[in-house]
Amino acid sequence: MNSFFRKVEGFLINLLVIILIILISTQFLMKNEVAYQRIKELEVTARSWLNQERVVEVTQPLPTEAAYLTVDLLQDLSLPQVWLLKNGERVANFRQGVVRIKVKEGDLISLDTSYYSQALWFEITALSANINTWAPGKQFRSYREEKVLGVVRFYGQV
> What Å distances lie between residue 46 and 17, 42, 43, 141, CA to CA?
30, 6, 5, 18
β-bridge pairing 146-151 and 139-143: unpaired
Q: Which amino acid is at 9?
A: E
Q: Residue 62: its pLDDT value, please?
A: 47
Residue 18 pLDDT: 95
* pLDDT-based confidence at residue 45 (cuts at 50, 70, 90): confident
Tell me the whole-structure pTM to 2 decimals.
0.57
State the amino acid at position 87 in one-letter form: N
Please report the pLDDT score of residue 84 as a whole number.
93
Range of weakest confidence among 38-42, 101-105, 115-119, 144-148:
38-42
DSSP SS3 for 28: helix
Coil, helix or strand at residue 62: coil
Residues 82 and 93: beta-carbon distance below 8 Å: yes
